[in-house]
Amino acid sequence: MGSMTAIVTGNVGGEVMDIGSSERPGVKFRLGATERYRDRRTGDWVDGKELWVDVCCWGRLADGVRQSIRRGDAVIVSGRIETDQYTVDGQNRSKTQLTANAVGHDLSWGTSQYRRHARKEDRSGPPSSAGSDAETAPSGEPEPDDGAGEGPSEQIGAAPEPEYSYTQR
């Protein structure tokens, strides 16, 4: 199996599908891009070559893609192009896919709003609340805001984190 890094822009060609398991969540979608150029003789835009690639996302990226990306969205995907070779009925075959490490909306075609994932609690155990108004994790860092009650942004008077959504033009 070979792999290389690539950044691909295009449109989501179908629904985002769940793959993987509850222990290793994943999603997959098809990404399509069509080369377009202006014909010098007529001045018209002409469709050229098409590229379709399967995109796989794992873990927290999969969660974000599942909640944010829809069919038809213009996206930018960065990741590893991987080719798996296998045999079916004695014939050698290969499948190429892009295993993403980042996916985002292409803001050349619309607007988007961002909402940060909630942080998971420290796995070493619950924080100690002895003699302190602000809870701290064992490392001494403040606990992440779980969205309930007063979080770090309210404690220091900063504006709350914005929520975002994507609007295609």
Query: Can you tell me the distance from the alpha carbon of 124 to that of 134, in angstroms, rounded to the nearest whole number?
Result: 19
| pLDDT value for 148 | 43
| pLDDT value for 20 | 81
Which stretches in the chain have pLDDT values below 70?
1-3, 120-169
What amino acid is encoded at 33 in this protein? Answer: A
pLDDT in tens, 16-49: 999 988 888 999 999 999 888 999 999 999 999 9
Q: Which CATH superfamily is domain 2-36+46-116 in?
A: Nucleic acid-binding proteins (2.40.50.140)
Query: Can you tell me the distance from the alpha carbon of 82 to that of 79, in angstroms, rounded to the nearest whole number?
Result: 9
| pLDDT value for 120 | 66
Domain limits, the chain: 2-36+46-116
Query: Can you tell me the distance from the alpha carbon of 159 to that of 156, in angstroms, rounded to the nearest whole number?
Result: 9
Give the 3-state DSSP-derived string for 26-56, with helices as H, strands as E and coil as C: EEEEEEEEEEEEECCCCCCEEEEEEEEEEEE
| pLDDT value for 58 | 95
